Amino acid sequence: MNIDHVATVRQARRTYEPDPVFAAVEAQLGGAFGITVHLREDRRHINDDDVRRLKDVVTVKFNLEMAATREMVEFARSIKPQMAMLVPEGRAEVTTEGGLDVVGKRKSLHEVVARLKGAGIGVSIFIDADPAQVEAAAECGADVCEIHTGPYAHLFHDHGRDGRADLVREELSRIAHAGQLIRSAGMQFNAGHALNLHNVKAIAALPGVEELHIGHAIVSRAVFVGLRDAVAEMVAAVAKRPQ
């Protein structure tokens, strides 16, 4: 579970609640297999102290999303999360808008991946469902590729939540093909972005997908049922994926 959105609510009032660390505890009690946070360069939601406290509290996999900058690499090396996920980052964006351009930044990303892995940190790269990006991520030494599922999720919504719509099926096929390439290259296949209770099952059913990273939909649902139950609902939805 990505708990950034809990920190976003806190920062809306520039106060101390809700505490994302407490959210991580509730998420784990609800059955989350991992906790993700994105430490942005502008610290708009999660801050350095949150990450340090989370590292002491999280007992499942702890994944730190980050830009591939010198500052973030050194911070990650000091914290040593189980996984660091390299993502694109724009100051004006509301949320991550696409995958990282690994092809265009191959040389610098190779160095970033090497420094993180040298500190014993697994490295994931968030990419679009593009074979060229998969190949470049493998060349950079990534352990994991997470495929950006935003285009699929938006098509699913725009077509009346009909997973049989042609464009939805085409995008799902693109993700499945990228996942096959990821696995063939010896990397772990993850997926995430804009997934919710309505669209997650088809993604969860893709061959070889290992992890789904979901945040906004769970926090939104938690407003009505509580965070622990919202996480448990999502875990159950993934477990009931079509075969």
Question: Which residues are the active-site residues?
Answer: 38, 65, 193
Taking alpha carbons only, the member of 84, 154, 152, 148 closest to residue 122 is: 84
SS3 of the chain: helix, strand, coil, percent, to 5: 50, 15, 35
Contact (Cβ atoms closer than 8 angstroms) between residue 54 and residue 21: yes
Q: Residues near 234 by Cβ (< 8 Å), separated by ≥ 6?
A: 1, 197, 200, 214, 217, 218, 221
- How many angstroms separate the Cα of 169 from the Cα of each of 165, 172, 175, 242? 6, 5, 10, 15
